[in-house]
Amino acid sequence: MSDLPRKAVTRTAKLATLPLSFAGRATWGLGKRIGGRSAELVGNELQQRTAEQLFSVLGQLKGGAMKLGQALSVFESALPETVAGPYRAALTKLQEAAPPMPAATVRAALDERLGEGWRELFLEFDEKPAAAASIGQVHRAVWHDGREVAVKIQYPGAGEALLADLTQLGRFARVLGPLIPGMDIKPLIEELRERAAEELDYGLEAESQQICAEAFRDDPDVAVPAVIRQQKEVLVSEWLPGVPLSEVIAGGSQEERDLAGQLLTRFLFAGPARTGLLHADAHPGNFRIVPADHGGTGRVRLGVLDFGAVNRLPGGLPPVIGRTLRMTLDGRAEEVYAHLTAEGFVKPSAELEPQAVLEWLLPFVEPASVPEFAFSRQWLREQAGRLADPRSPAQQLGRRMNLPPSYLLIHRVTLSTLGVLCQLGARVRVRDELLRGLPGFAGDGETVAVEAEGPGA
């Protein structure tokens, strides 16, 4: 048996400790304030204790609980610096590792899914996992033809656990909301649940990964491992060496951070146009910096892993996004408002001032307003605070806006990528990447000028 807690009653009991503990801590905090400690100090301590328990429980349970933890992990940059440290440690741990399956469970799973002669497929197979995540773990091996491979094995019972967790978490999403200022947790949980079936289908994942591997084969900027074999809940891919992005965040030089940020931004905007797919699981554990000698490009590339969650965009990112961003930067308030209304971003019952909407949007497009933008945790905290403060005009206006369902995943991936860029503290030429890869953004002649600089410029 796997050590993944599968029984609904066990998992429900663990998750149920979260809202109860949050309520208990709120009472404790009130008592401390009555006793004379400042509300700010008590609030910070309360948030620290809450975070430690939340991510401890999410990490232990894997499944949907850990999936939510990974999705939240990219937003730790939005937290006040006084409490960001403990969050950062707990969240980073979720990005790269989880308690692994016992070796006996791994062997039994491979017997069932690849057949009892599965060892003949490999020259070597390391029973100790190289990585363990929310619904599966990865083992390093050598394929029978000598290629190094990654063998991804889904946890037994992962589907049941994933759906049960997300259903339970959805019931007290409101309690989790204050952990990430400006972030509505409930739609995130609902969207994760809607996409659970796709993430559990390794056949779909293999198809998406192979599309991207072929599109980026010999690309100077992006590396995607090719699929070698997929059978039931096992996926065998080429091994992709490199430094996980979480390590670059933790200890990379400014030059390494800048390069990683530039390549990540390039992949976000160029990927959908080339593949018809938007990688929808943008947390640091799914990216790495691939060494220069891998693939013969002569310089490092961004390695991209895990295509279980994708948004299918046959025409690439919608051109209306690029046009609206460009008009916002140009200060064309009336045209921006007309575009947003036509696409359903403005509720039919809402009567908003176009100039107010433009001013609400401007901070979001700030990274594209300068030749090079320095992402930082402080910048993200300012944006989160602007949206979370109920007294803020931005928060009041934002509540009157509407996010059409077709843009929900694009919005989440963009926010997640911004979170990673702020964790990196990267200096990125965002405008160049918009000109290069976002349909509708470029004016006459601008795309040619950027492409002339060459890849990685």
Q: For residue range 335-347, what is the model confidence (pLDDT) as tens digits?
A: 999 989 988 888 7
Q: Which residues of 66-79 are buried (b: 16+ CB within 10 A; e: fewer)?
A: bbbbbbbbbbbbbb
For position 371, what pLDDT does the model report?
A: 96
Structural domain contains residue 174:
no
Q: Mean pLDDT over all residues of the chain?
A: 78
List, by residue number, the catalytic residues: 281
Higher pLDDT, 446 or 33: 446
Q: Which residues of 361-390 are buried (b: 16+ CB within 10 A; e: fewer)?
A: beeebebbeeeebbbbbebbbebbbbbbee
User: pLDDT by residue (tens digit) across 395-411?
Assistant: 677 777 877 878 888 98
Tally of structural domains, the chain:
1
pLDDT at 276 over 50: yes
Structural domain contains residue 152:
no
pLDDT at 26 over 50: no
Structural domain contains residue 299:
yes
Give the bridge partners for 373, in sequence order: 428
15-38 mean pLDDT: 40
CA distances from 420 to 272, 298, 316 (A): 19, 26, 22
Give the model's confidence band at 100: pLDDT under 50 very low, under 70 low, under 90 confident, else very high: confident
Structural domain contains residue 135:
no
User: pLDDT by residue (tens digit) across 361-370?
Assistant: 888 899 999 9
pLDDT at 318 over 60: yes
Q: Which residues contact 102 (CB under 8 A, 6 or more apart)?
A: 2, 3
Give the model's confidence band at 4: pLDDT under 50 very low, under 70 low, under 90 confident, else very high: very low
For position 226, what pLDDT does the model report?
A: 97
Structural domain contains residue 187:
no
Higher pLDDT, 19 or 79: 79
Structural domain contains residue 71:
no
| Least confidently predicted of 40-49, 97-106, 184-193, 215-224 | 40-49
Q: Is the CA virtual torsion 344, 345, 351, 354 positive or negative?
A: negative
Can you read off the two tokens belonging to residue 389?
């403060």
pLDDT at 425 over 80: yes
Q: Amino acid identity of 303?
A: G
146-161 mean pLDDT: 89
Structural domain contains residue 436:
yes
66-84 mean pLDDT: 60
For position 112, what pLDDT does the model report?
A: 95
Q: How far apart are CA 307 and CA 56, in angstroms?
A: 26
For position 203, what pLDDT does the model report?
A: 96
For position 453, what pLDDT does the model report?
A: 42
60-67 mean pLDDT: 55
The four Cα atoms 229, 234, 235, 238 give a dihedral, to 10 degrees, of -80
Give the model's confidence band at 25: pLDDT under 50 very low, under 70 low, under 90 confident, else very high: very low
| Least confidently predicted of 23-37, 135-149, 271-285 | 23-37
Q: Which domain holds residue 276?
A: 243-457
148-158 mean pLDDT: 92
3-state secondary structure the chain: CCCCCCCHHHHHHHHHHHHHHHHHHHHHHHHHHHCCCCHHHHHHHHHHHHHHHHHHHHHHHCHHHHHHHHHHHCCHHHCCHHHHHHHHHHHHHHHHCCCCCCHHHHHHHHHHHHCCCHHHHEEEECCCCCEECCCEEEEEEEECCCCEEEEEEECCCHHHHHHHHHHHHHHCHHHHHHHCCCCCHHHHHHHHHHCHHHHHCHHHHHHHHHHHHHHCCCCCCEECCCEEEEECCEEEEECCCCEEHHHHHHHCCHHHHHHHHHHHHHHHHHHHHHHCEEECCCCHHHEEEECCCCCCCCCCEEEECCCCCEEECCCCCCHHHHHHHHHHHCCCHHHHHHHHHHHCCECCCCCCCHHHHHHHHHHHHHHHCCCCEECCHHHHHHHHHHHHCCCCHHHHHHCCECCCHHHHHHHHHHHHHHHHHHHHCCEECHHHHHHHHCCCCCCCCHHHHHHCCCCCC
For position 421, what pLDDT does the model report?
A: 96
Most trustworthy range by pLDDT among 180-189, 236-245, 392-401: 236-245
For position 390, what pLDDT does the model report?
A: 66
pLDDT at 37 over 60: no
Structural domain contains residue 402:
yes
For position 97, what pLDDT does the model report?
A: 47
